[in-house]
Amino acid sequence: MDRDTISRLYETYYMHVYSFLLTKCRDKNLAEELTQETFVKAFASESDYRGEAKEQSWLCAIAKNLLYDWSRKNARFSEMPEDVQSDENIEKELVREDSAFRIHLALHALEEPYREVFELRVFGELSFQKIGAIFGKTETWARVTFHRAKGKLTERMRENDTEL
């Protein structure tokens, strides 16, 4: 890959890949590190790029694989929650953790691409146009998929409430 192509890819897609990773890991430092690794790996393995997918999709796929690899390697180093000092704070924290857990449980049960589109929109704060571009689809597709994801998530939350 020549220098101009490398520069063009990096300048064009850096923020897309970074935003994608930030949405997935919610850690700025990790997202920056993995974004850099993504481009290094892409440049080193450019012969693997067959041109069947858009460059942005190819880069996001590399980024996603790097994040999964990192997650598997670092699963045993999960952070401990901060100590909570008063009984009232403990109760509030437990309610918040329970609610967050139930939401994430329902979100985790969503099938693709609904889950990823929802995460990109809500956690990554990406526009529908950018979400569509990541998937190689239209802005309208991203809007419809997001609204369907919200509906499915709401339905799963209601089902979980009746089961608990």
pLDDT in tens, 53-77: 677 778 888 888 888 888 888 765 4
Q: Which region holds residue 153: left if phi is over 0, alpha if psi is between -120 and 50, else beta? A: alpha
- pLDDT above 70: residue 86: no
Question: What is this structure's pTM?
Answer: 0.45
Domains and CATH numbers, the chain: 3-74 (1.10.1740.10), 88-163 (1.10.10.10)
pLDDT in tens, 102-136: 777 777 778 888 888 888 888 777 889 999 999 99
Which residue from 16, 118, 27 is spatially nearest to 70, judged by alpha carbons? 27
Residues 55 and 58: their CA atoms lie apart, in Å, by: 5
